[in-house]
Amino acid sequence: MKKLFSFVGMGAPGKGYDEVLYRFDDGMSFATSHVQLAIASHEQPLDSIILFMTPQSQEKYGDELQQELKRYGSSNLHIECLACIDVNRQDADSQWQWFNSMCEKIQDDDEVVFDFTHGIRSVPIIFATAINFLQTITNFKLTHAYYGFLDPDSHDAASCKSGRIVDLAGFFSLNRWAIAASFFAYSGDPSLFVTTAETENESKMFSVFKDPVMAQKMRELSSVLKNVNVHHAPRVAYDAVTFAQSKSEGAPFPVQKILGKISATFSDLSNFDNASHCYDIGYLHSQIELCRILNNYGFFMQSFTVMRELIGSLGMASLTGKYAKTKYDSSDGMKKYRRIADLFIRMIQYPRDKWKWEKDEAPRIPLLMPLYELLEKENLLTDLTETTNNILKCRNGFDHGWTVERYTHGQQIAETAQMCLDKLEALVNKIEKNNYFGRVQSATNLSQIK
């Protein structure tokens, strides 16, 4: 149903409301002493008009205004005069009653036109809050939020004063876009943003948010996070952040703030885009940043998956020769050489005297020994083995549905994920600071590693 909500007060003491020639932004004009008549005429056809009144304004204007409104509406137009506003009562109970009365009148799928012209004291705040509240939990569409006023830039017409009626619905749209963007930034889920883009009215100010490219960038970014696309997450984040930043330039201030929220959330991940697509220190840092985002979102299964990948990547990053040039997203990198990363995880997972290798695996173990022995020499191996086993145990728990039994509180999973990530980040920082990869790649045996 298309509904018009409006306030009716008493007007100027002793004389009521003056006749005003109201002009809309689309050029339509209407002369009346009741702004509701101008808006009702502009918004036809309407199914329902709800007038919030004081007992005094209902007595003075109720019957007259209803008759006038029926002249501009269809035969089945429903008009309600609610004498529920007492502006002399500003206590909390009264204001909650106004709030509730507003909320009761808006249902799912309603198309709402609001008129704030004659709302006084706290009344507009209460009803604006009701609209924001209902936009969050109810599926209705706010078409317009009108405000009528005398136009100081226009001379009085011959018979009446000149006024304007402007649409302030953009302020309510701003709140919806901000919530949608924050939800994406805090959850990695673009669904609220996409839904808002589909339901919000066209607006020049927020046109960038309705750009299909914007929604696509957010979907792609969400997908690489939830599907643990480790290889391409930095590139997708870079594309999304770059697009947001380009659209932010010269945009209205609120749009800049909203786009800035999205950019800030993913900018660290985007900074690690690796043009070489090889296993190196930059790739390791990108995995750490991806884990940080996944932990923040509570995507712990995905985070443990990336941490496991990171441990394998340590081994791959230490290789020399043709292996050093392997691209992680190439056919060889994802299939042929990926087994080397799995071997390094198993080397770290078990003590050396427990190693058991298949016939085709054994020849590759010497490729990984320089890094393994350097970690052992630097007294880093024991801590890495413990961290690795924690990661594998948790990831296995998710695989088999044991996590809830083993960790009865979600906080324990969060703490374990953060502890493992902190240890891996410290290790990667130490590897970078001391150039471990450069040392093992230039050595032929452990005695040459200094």
**Residue 336 DSSP label:** I
The yes-or-no verdict on residue 373 having pLDDT over 60 is yes
How many CA atoms within 13 Å lie on the side-chain side of 76?
4
Instruction: Say yes or no: 291 and 316 in one domain.
Output: yes
Nearest-10 crossing angle of helices 381-400, 300-317: 140
Domain boundary among 208, 240, 273: 273
Instruction: Say yes or no: 225 and 367 in one domain.
Output: no
Instruction: Say yes or no: 307 and 443 in one domain.
Output: yes
Instruction: Say yes or no: 400 and 302 in one domain.
Output: yes
pLDDT tens-digit profile of 425-440?
999 999 999 999 988 8
**The pTM is what?**
0.72
pLDDT tens-digit profile of 252-297?
898 899 899 888 888 888 887 666 678 889 889 999 999 999 998 8
In which band, very low, low, confident or very high, does the pLDDT at 303 lie, cut at 50, 70 and 90?
Answer: very high
> Which residue range(s) make up the domain with 18?
2-167
What local confidence, expressed as pLDDT, does residue 450 receive? 39
Instruction: Say yes or no: 424 and 339 in one domain.
Output: yes
Question: What distance, in Å, lies between the first and last C-alpha atoms of the chain?
Answer: 78
In which band, very low, low, confident or very high, does the pLDDT at 446 lie, cut at 50, 70 and 90?
Answer: very low
User: Whose CA is closest to 348, among 391, 392, 381?
Assistant: 381
Instruction: Say yes or no: 307 and 204 in one domain.
Output: no
pLDDT tens-digit profile of 190-232?
888 888 887 777 677 788 888 889 889 989 988 988 888 888 8
The yes-or-no verdict on residue 157 having pLDDT over 60 is no
Q: In terms of pLDDT, which residue wins out, 19 or 330?
A: 19
**Residue 114 DSSP label:** E
Q: In terms of pLDDT, which residue wins out, 158 or 21?
A: 21
Would you say 437 and 368 are in contact if contact means Cβ atoms under 8 Å apart? no
Q: How far apart are CA 34 and CA 49, in angstroms?
A: 14
Q: How far apart are CA 292 and CA 269, in angstroms?
A: 9
Bond from prior residue into 45 cis (ω within 30 degrees of 0): yes
Angle ∠(337,340,346) on CA atoms, nearest 5: 155
The yes-or-no verdict on residue 389 having pLDDT over 60 is yes
State which amino acid sits at residue 292: R
Instruction: Say yes or no: 35 and 140 in one domain.
Output: yes
Q: How far apart are CA 302 and CA 304, in angstroms?
A: 6
What mean pLDDT is predicted for residues 352-376?
91
Q: Is 7 helix (H, G, I), strand (E, B) or coil?
A: strand
- What tokens appear for 15 in the block? 């004389």
Average confidence score pLDDT of the chain: 84
Read off the CATH number of the domain in which 63 is found.
3.40.50.10640
Instruction: Say yes or no: 343 and 365 in one domain.
Output: yes
Would you say 141 and 176 are in contact if contact means Cβ atoms under 8 Å apart? no
What local confidence, expressed as pLDDT, does residue 447 receive? 43
Instruction: Say yes or no: 38 and 102 in one domain.
Output: yes
User: Whose CA is closest to 421, among 300, 338, 271?
Assistant: 300
pLDDT tens-digit profile of 315-362?
999 988 777 677 776 666 566 677 888 999 999 999 999 999 998 889
Q: How far apart are CA 50 and CA 449, in angstroms?
A: 83
Instruction: Say yes or no: 177 and 156 in one domain.
Output: no
Instruction: Say yes or no: 430 and 366 in one domain.
Output: yes
Q: Tell the residue number behind the tokens 């609209």, with chain if given.
A: 131
User: Whose CA is closest to 106, among 210, 205, 1?
Assistant: 1
User: Whose CA is closest to 19, among 33, 29, 36?
Assistant: 33
Q: How far apart are CA 98 and CA 96, in angstroms?
A: 5
What local confidence, expressed as pLDDT, does residue 225 receive? 86
Domain boundary among 210, 239, 273: 273
Q: How many domains does the chain have?
A: 3
Instruction: Say yes or no: 141 and 11 in one domain.
Output: yes
The yes-or-no verdict on residue 444 having pLDDT over 80 is no
52 strand-pairing partners: 7, 82
The yes-or-no verdict on residue 369 having pLDDT over 90 is yes
Would you say 313 and 279 are in contact if contact means Cβ atoms under 8 Å apart? yes
What local confidence, expressed as pLDDT, does residue 125 receive? 84
Would you say 85 and 52 are in contact if contact means Cβ atoms under 8 Å apart? yes
What mean pLDDT is predicted for residues 14-26?
87
Domain boundary among 134, 167, 200: 167
**Residue 16 DSSP label:** B
